[in-house]
Amino acid sequence: MEPNGKGPMLTRRQQLAGIAGGLVMGALPSRLDAAGDEPLKDLAAQKGVLFGTAISAGRSSPMADPGYGALVARECAVVVPENEMKVYVLGNDPQALNFGPADRIATFAQDHRMKLRGHTLLWNYGKYISPALAQMVEATGAEKWLRAYIAKVAGHFGDRIYSWDVINETIDPKTGEVRGTVFDKALGFDVFKIAYETAREHAPHAQRVYNDYMSWEVGNETHRAGVLRLLARFRKENVPVDALGIQSHLGNDGSHSRVQRAEWKRFLDEVVAMGYRLLITEFDINDREMPRDVARRDAQTAAVAKSYLDQMLAYPQLDQLLCWGLWDKHSWLNGFAPRADGLPQRPLPYDDELKPKPMRAAIADALRAAPVRKGIA
Ligand code: 9MR
C-alpha cells in the first residue's frame, strides 16, 4: 500500500499498458505501491531527461516476470537490451542474424510506449570478439564485414532506435590507446569512420554515441585521457559522433572527494567543449567494499548515487539516465565482482522483492534538484 493507505497509484493509461503487455494485474499492487513516489520517468521528463534501464530477454526479463515488467513500465521511458543486440547473440554472419531476443525487447518497448536504445554495433574489445568472429572478419575483410553487419543491424531496427552505442569500449584503460583488435589492426582509425558513417547511413535519425567506462574513480586517469584524445580526433576527422555515453559503473573508493570531483569536472568540461552531448548509459554501484549491514550499505550506495548524479545532472548536455537493471536480483555484478562475505550485491534502485531502496530515493532527489534542460526526448 501507499504510505497514505490509498492503494495503487496507477493511472488508467498505466493500467491499460499493463494489460496490453500481458501483465497480470493481480500481481501489481503491493509491488508498485512500494515506490510511493512519482515515477522516475516523470521526474526526469520534467527536467528534459529520459530515464530508463537495461533489460534482458532471458529468465530475468520484464516479459517473464510480470511484477518486474510493471515496474519497468511504470518507472522507465526507455529501455536498452543488456546483451541481445551484441554480436555474440545476433551472430557472426551478417546475412543470417538472429534478431529474435532483441525483437522481443523491441516489442515490449513498443507495447509500453517506451523508447529503445541500441547497444552496441561494435564492441571493439578483443575479450568480446570470439575466435570464430575474428576468423570470419579476416576471411571477409574487416571493412566489408563491418559495413555489412552494421547495415543489417541498424537497418533491421531502423527508426525504432533513437540512440545507438555505435562503438563500445575501444580504449584500453591501461595505455589510453585503441585496444588493437582484428578490426583496428586491419583498418586503423578508419574503423571509426566506417562504423559511424555506416550507422548514419542506415539509421539516419538515431543519435550516435561513443560508450565507455572511464569514470571519476582514482586509477582512471589514463583511460580518461585516452577517451579525450579519441573524441578530439573524431572531431578533427569529421567522424559523425554526437555524444559520449558514460557507463557509470561506480564503486565506493572515495572518488567523490573534492579533488576527484574537480578532475571529473575537467574531463566533462572538455567533452562538452568539443560539442558532445552526454548520457549515463549503465548506472549501478558496486558495493563490494561496503559494509555487510544492509541498512548501512544501502545508505552508502544512496550517498554515492546522489553525489554523482548531482554533478552529472548539472550539465545541461546530459539528457539520458539509464540504470544497468532496475532491481538487484539479476545484476551482472554478482558474477563479475562477488562480495567477499558471499552476500549478494545491492547495486540498483530496487531490491529482490521489488521494494524501492534508498538509491531509488537518491535518484529521485537528484532529478528533483536538477536544472531543466532541452533534452533529446
Ligand atoms: O551486463 C552484461 C552481462 O550480462 C554480460 O555477460 C557482459 C558480457 O556481454 O556484458 C555486461 O554488460 C556490459 C556492457 O555491455 C558494456 N559495459 C560493461 C557492462 C558490464 O560488464
- CB of 83 sitting under 6 A from ligand 1: yes
374 lies in some domain: no
Which band of pLDDT confidence, cut at 50, 70 and 90, is reported for residue 91?
very high
Q: How far is the CA of 96 from the centre of ligand 1 (A)?
A: 24
195 lies in some domain: yes
4 lies in some domain: no
85 lies in some domain: yes
- Of 247 and 35, the one with more pLDDT: 247
**Which atom of ligand 1 approaches the CA of 213 most closely?**
17
- CB of 350 sitting under 6 A from ligand 1: no
- CB of 332 sitting under 6 A from ligand 1: yes
Q: How far is the CA of 54 from the centre of ligand 1 (A)?
A: 10
304 lies in some domain: yes
- Of 5 and 229, the one with more pLDDT: 229
- CB of 331 sitting under 6 A from ligand 1: no
- CB of 287 sitting under 6 A from ligand 1: no
In whole angstroms, what is the distance from residue 278 CA to residue 284 CA? 17
**Which atom of ligand 1 approaches the CA of 336 most closely?**
21
Region 102-113 average pLDDT: 97
In whole angstroms, what is the distance from residue 132 CA to residue 125 CA? 15
Give pLDDT tens digits for 31-64. Answer: 343 445 899 999 999 999 999 999 999 877 899 8
Which residue's entry shows cell 548539472? Answer: 314
- Decide: residue 324, CB within 10 A, 0-12 exposed, 13-18 middle, 19+ buried: buried
**Looking at residue 259, what is its pLDDT?**
82
**Looking at residue 3, what is its pLDDT?**
30
Q: Which residue puts its alpha carbon closest to atom 19 of ligand 1?
A: 282
Q: How far is the CA of 82 from the centre of ligand 1 (A)?
A: 7
* Cell numbers linked to 55: 533489460
Region 238-246 average pLDDT: 98
Closest CA to 228 of 174, 193, 176, 165: 176
Residue 336: which CATH number? 3.20.20.80
Give pLDDT tens digits for 181-211. Answer: 999 999 999 999 999 999 999 999 999 999 9
**Looking at residue 58, what is its pLDDT?**
84
Region 138-152 average pLDDT: 98
Q: Which residue puts its alpha carbon closest to atom 13 of ligand 1?
A: 82
**Looking at residue 36, what is its pLDDT?**
58
- CB of 84 sitting under 6 A from ligand 1: no
- CB of 319 sitting under 6 A from ligand 1: no
Q: How far is the CA of 322 from the centre of ligand 1 (A)?
A: 14
Domain containing residue 258: 12-369
Q: Is the pLDDT of residue 164 over 80?
A: yes
Q: How far is the CA of 142 from the centre of ligand 1 (A)?
A: 24
User: What number of other Cβ atoms are within 10 A of residue 131's Cβ?
Assistant: 8
377 lies in some domain: no
- In the 8-state DSSP scheme, what is residue 6? -
Mutate to test the pocket of ligand 1, among 56, 83, 84 (most ligand atoms within 8 A of CB): 83
7 lies in some domain: no
Exposure string of 12-30, with b = 16+ CB inside 10 Å and e = fewer, is eebeebbeebebeeebbbe
Tally the domains of the chain: 1
Q: Is the pLDDT of residue 29 over 80?
A: no
**Looking at residue 60, what is its pLDDT?**
77
Work out the mean pLDDT of the chain and round it to a whole number.
Answer: 90
**Which atom of ligand 1 approaches the CA of 120 most closely?**
15
- CB of 149 sitting under 6 A from ligand 1: no
Q: How far is the CA of 355 from the centre of ligand 1 (A)?
A: 24
**Which atom of ligand 1 approaches the CA of 119 most closely?**
15
Q: Which residue puts its alpha carbon closest to atom 4 of ligand 1?
A: 332
In whole angstroms, what is the distance from residue 174 CA to residue 17 CA? 46
Per the CB < 8 A criterion, the answer to whether 319 and 48 are in contact is: yes
Q: Is the pLDDT of residue 7 over 70?
A: no
1 lies in some domain: no
Region 366-374 average pLDDT: 97
